[in-house]
Amino acid sequence: MLTVNHDGVSVESDLAGGLLECPGCRGRLRPWGWARERLIRHGTGAGRFLLRHRPRRGRCAGCAATHVLLEAGLAARRADTAAVIAAAVEAKTAAGHGHRRIASWLGRPASTVRGWLRAFAASAVPIAEVFTALAHRDGADAAGLWPAPEPTPAGRALAAVTAYASVLAERFAVAALPWHSAGLAAAGPFFFSTGRWHGGVQHELALTPEIRGGKGEGSTG
């Protein structure tokens, strides 16, 4: 599974043009049907709604593995959009709210929200390390992007991913990039899963995540 642009048209043209890379062997992915349809919960509170998503699938011309191409707004194995999960993480990390309060605000089961928060907290140390390194590597003047030091690992993780999102937004000349989009673009669809950060999911960090329709610039940019 890999994270791709949310614009289906650009994904099609990238697939057709052999521009998408196999996360296993870096071979070229070719169109290979569609993955199983999934029903995803969008929005929060009274603004909740369900949408069907049917991700494209690609097959590697090199190793023949097939990969689900998940759009950047969705996280692997989650029935809610990345924006909703991110809102829960922010409410916990920045505002200190408990999972029950967050769950009732979002209109989601408390156990689901607790699972998201635990996964993020359990992955916070490696997330902070990786995204701090990415922000320093890719940010020409990243110093100005860093907020005050955060007291908790989850706070440091959130700050690091947010700083990297600022670096990417500047680089791709977009007004703002949500931190969860930067997280998914760089770390892949399992960004919100503990397995991603503790050896369970192999996925190389994208060197130049695609933020808009076009391909990224050179990795050493």
**Binding region for Zn ion (CB under 5 A):** 22, 24-25, 27, 60, 62-63
Query: How far apart are CB 23 and Zn ion at their closest, in Å?
Result: 8
Query: How far apart are CB 63 and Zn ion at their closest, in Å?
Result: 3
Helix (H, G, I), strand (E, B) or coil at 163: helix
Q: Beta partners for 38? A: 53
Instruction: Return the number of the residue (15 or 134) whose C-beta is nearest Zn ion.
Output: 15
Instruction: Return the number of the residue (28 or 53) whose C-beta is nearest Zn ion.
Output: 28
Residues 6+ apart with CB under 8 A from 104: 110
Query: How far apart are CB 65 and Zn ion at their closest, in Å?
Result: 5
Instruction: Return the number of the residue (20 or 159) whose C-beta is nearest Zn ion.
Output: 20
| Residue type, position 209, single letter | P
Query: How far apart are CB 187 and Zn ion at their closest, in Å?
Result: 19
Environment class of residue 43 by beta-carbon count within 10 Å: exposed (0-12), middle (13-18) or buried (19+)?
Answer: middle
Instruction: Return the number of the residue (65 or 83) whose C-beta is nearest Zn ion.
Output: 65
- Residue 189 Cα distances to 129, 144, 163, angstroms: 18, 29, 20
What is d(CA 94, CA 131) in angstroms, rounded to the nearest whole number? 18
